[in-house]
Chain A
Amino acid sequence: MMAFLFGIFHTWLVLVAAPLITGIVRLTKARLQGRQGASPLQPYRDLWRLLQKESVIAETASWLFRIAPYLVFVAVWLAATIMPTFTTDMILTPAADLIALVALLGTARFFTALAGLDAGTAFGGLGSSREMFVASIGEPAMLMVIFSLSLLTHTTSPANMIAYVLSGHIGIEVSAGLALASMVMVAIAENGRIPIDNPTTHLELTMIHEAMVLEYSGRHLALLEAAAMVRLLLFMTIISSLFFPWGIAFVDAGPGEVLLGLLAWFAKVSVLAMVLGFCESLVAKMRVFQIADFLGGALLLALLATIFLYVSEAV
């Protein structure tokens, strides 16, 4: 019964908390640039405003263009429900593993790219082609990270992984460190953050993710924006729950532990949001073709993580 309630609560929690985390990233960046910055609640107002607005659809667009935002949003939201936040005791946790999570994110990406092509504008095509270019290296890198973590913890289920890490079976592992580095790089690319993509730019020619959704407006855009926010929170949760799971509640935990888990999770993702804002203020965006080098590095790190695992076992 608790698992059912926690599952429902978790599902809504990621949705409700996502805009706040995006708001914290933006506020951190603004403050570091010496600007006052908007309140961290601004993303909620933005989404609300978009939901009120009329959705304008290009004459050349097909049915795919209309349904893509819903598919993308649902896929990302569903992916977010797989990853435990404050407790591993959720009804859906045993139903899916991290490979399903990657597949759901891949599905969302696939439909965004199709929608980008659908209206037939040059920018949409440009964005879709760049997005697929990023995905072609980013997705294998992410799978590789998950493989090395599964080898380390002997499971692909996130809840079991967390339990394994917390049980103290692994100490300071080179593999875990490499996997973390790789995961962070993949997360930056998957979420289109600087130095891969700039989510706040108005320059159509430099966009990746924004170029694909350039034709969207109104509630469709709100869904896509919300999906991007949930995806950012999801990746932060992956990093915090898998690599720093301390504080998370288990099955049969008391209310105090659940509350602690909730606070710990929120503190962790907030810190990650601020770190992201800080790091984004330090670098310029890289040239489009260097993304291959960047993600190639992530893939290599993930591969090394796996190899080191076997090497250390052999020793």
Chain B
Amino acid sequence: MLGNTTLFEFLGSGRLVAGHRPWPRYLLDERAWRELINQLAVSDWTLLGLWADGSEVHAAFRDEDTADIAVASLATQDRRFPSLAGVRPSAIRLERAIHDLFGLFADGSADTRPWLDHGRWPISAPLAIVRGIPSRAPVVYPFLPVEGESLHQIPVGPVHAGVIEPGHFRFTCAGETVVRLEERLGYAHKGIEGLMAGKTLAEGARLAGRISGDSTVAYAIAFARAAEAATATELPPRIHWVRALLAELERVANHILDLGAICNDAAFSFMLAQSTVLREKVLRANELCFGHRLLMDKVIPGGVTADVTREGASILRGLVKELRKRVRRMGVLYDDMPSLQDRTVGTGVVQASLAHRFGAGGFVGRAASQGGDARKVPGYPPYDDLDFEIPVHPEGDVNARIWVRIEEIQASLGLIEQILEKMPGGPLTKPIPTRGGEGMALVEGFRGDILLWLRLSEVGRVVRCHPRDPSWFQWPLLEAAIEGNIVADFPLCNKSFNCSYSGVDL
């Protein structure tokens, strides 16, 4: 069976599950799941997500040769399933999260420590079918051991000196050099997956828009697209165009702020002052055109709640023109600062092979030769009608991640112009039929591809919703990127990754 098999050929041996859109889902038995693990060892199939649903586990893959996407499912026996972590290290944390939330145990994983459950929940495995296993008492979390002479540990967080999200970083250092960094997250756990169950589509969309606040548009689009896929709803074209416009505005605002924030971590605050002003211009234009600075709740299942008026379009055209000039100037300023480049070039290098193994998207992947972008592959409307480039750099360092952002801002500004020019007319909403089904969506947020999987009941309520933030596959790379760097460069690397805490803590 091993060899040149495509994803579809391989999964075809399983049972095709009806009503899963737009990509097929196959139910495998345990033997086939084990074969899948063997096949993964020799195939270039990227793990897109791994989540549980009752006593089932689902794994989404993308075949990098054929660009096919499919979901493989396994009904677990005795709450155990064979682990994918041996062949896909990106599965490690996802499997730990599955264990904490659903009580399903990944057999054969090298890391079986808890992830989201810090021993402070009233119950353990809150989403399992049979709950009521008493939660373990708060225990000392066993960090990975590091041995050697003159090594010392620096614990950082979860509460930081700045107003940022909570996360614990355990550094083991030899002098100033980092020997190992281990992240411990989960402090921002809000029970999103539990809250989603039983919600109507409207309530679910609101909640999805709050999973990670800076990506509210991308998450709302992901939820809406998954809901539309599950109910097989075809939308009038204008909706897609308005959504894309909102998504690109969000991307531009976030990238601009990142640009200044990274430079500020090298104590060059001029860039931050500049970028805050530019971001504010985007947010004010958002407020003027759509009625919300961060564009929350503008995308709903079956449509959008805001339209682009003629005045709005001219405001946005003016904004694009100004941003294009000023972002270019910021790029020149950055390029002309040897003291800044000295900090960013060669710092926090992510190997391209590692980025590929983890399927890292967004600026983290693109700065390490990975060209993946959900707007191109698998692609979704209206991006097939638009002309844009995905910037890719090979170096993998902080500098490359800055340049990917600068180029992406310019690409997004180009997209906004094209969208304003070509946008078709038509209605802005379409009622979603009340019916059951399973839907999945891949949407490109500013950090990378967001996967959202949804199962709806016959009365149109959410049964199970799993959002997979791009940061799941970027956080582990940060641990690798900092190795051999000095402790004082960590904030710079961390800011250049700008991973979401809230998005992965769920």
Contact = CB atoms under 8 A, between A and B. Distances in A.
Given A34-B277, A122-B155, A285 B266 contact: yes
Contacts of A29: 269
A286 B162 contact: no
Contacts of B197: none
Interface string B237-266: 000000000000000000000000001011
B176 A195 contact: no
B273 A126 contact: no
Q: What secondary structure prevails in chain A residues at the interface with B? A: loop
A2 interface: no
Contact of B263 (A202, A205, A284): A284
B343 A284 contact: yes
Contacts of B269: 29, 33, 200, 281
Contact of B267 (A34, A198, A290): A198
B270 A204 contact: no
A204 B160 CA distance: 8
A203 B154 contact: no
B489 interface: yes
Interface stretch (B323-331, B334-342, B364-372): B334-342
A122 B154 contact: yes
B486 A288 contact: yes
Nearest to B347: A287
Given A32-B270, A281-B270, A286 B265 contact: no
Interface in A198-247: 198, 200-206, 214
A117 interface: no
Contact of A33 (B265, B270, B343): B270
B486 A289 contact: yes
Interface string B155-174: 11000111000000000000
B123 interface: no
A194 interface: yes
Contacts of B265: 203, 206
Given A122-B154, A203-B162, A34 B274 contact: yes
A206 B340 contact: no
Contacts of A206: 265, 267, 488, 491
A126 B250 CA distance: 39
Contact of B491 (A32, A123, A205): A205
Interface in B322-381: 337, 339-340, 342-343
Contacts of A287: 342-343, 486, 488-489
Q: How large is the interface on A (under 10, 10 to 19, 20 to 34, 35 or more residues)?
A: 20 to 34
Given A32-B270, A284-B263, A205 B487 contact: yes
A278 to B, nearest CB: 11
Nearest to A123: B154
A34 B273 contact: yes
Contact of A195 (B267, B273, B486): B267
B488 A205 contact: yes
Given A195-B339, A284-B263, A287-B343, A202 B274 contact: no
A172 interface: no
B397 to A, nearest CB: 14
Interface in A111-156: 122-123, 125-126
Interface in A95-112: none
Contacts of B267: 194-195, 198, 201, 206, 284-285
Contacts of A205: 154, 156, 487-488, 490-491
Nearest to B487: A205
A281 B266 CA distance: 12
Contacts of B162: 202-203
A125 B343 CA distance: 24
Interface string B259-301: 0000101111110111001000000000000000000000000
A144 B72 CA distance: 72
A169 interface: no
A259 to B, nearest CB: 38
B153 interface: yes
A46 B270 CA distance: 24
A35 B277 CA distance: 10
Nearest to B154: A122
B266 to A, nearest CB: 4
Contacts of A311: none
Nearest to B341: A284
A283 B265 CA distance: 12
Nearest to A33: B273
A132 to B, nearest CB: 13
A198 B339 CA distance: 14
A34 B276 CA distance: 11
Contacts of A281: 269-270
A283 B488 contact: no
A202 B273 contact: no
21 contacts: A32-B270, A33-B274, A122-B154, A123-B154, A125-B152, A195-B339, A201-B267, A202-B162, A203-B161, A204-B160, A205-B490, A206-B265, A283-B337, A283-B339, A284-B266, A285-B267, A287-B342, A287-B343, A287-B489, A288-B176, A289-B486
Given A195-B339, A284-B263, 4 more contacts: A122-B154, A126-B154, A204-B161, A285-B343
- Give 3 closest A-B pairs by Cβ, nearest first: A285-B267, A33-B273, A202-B162
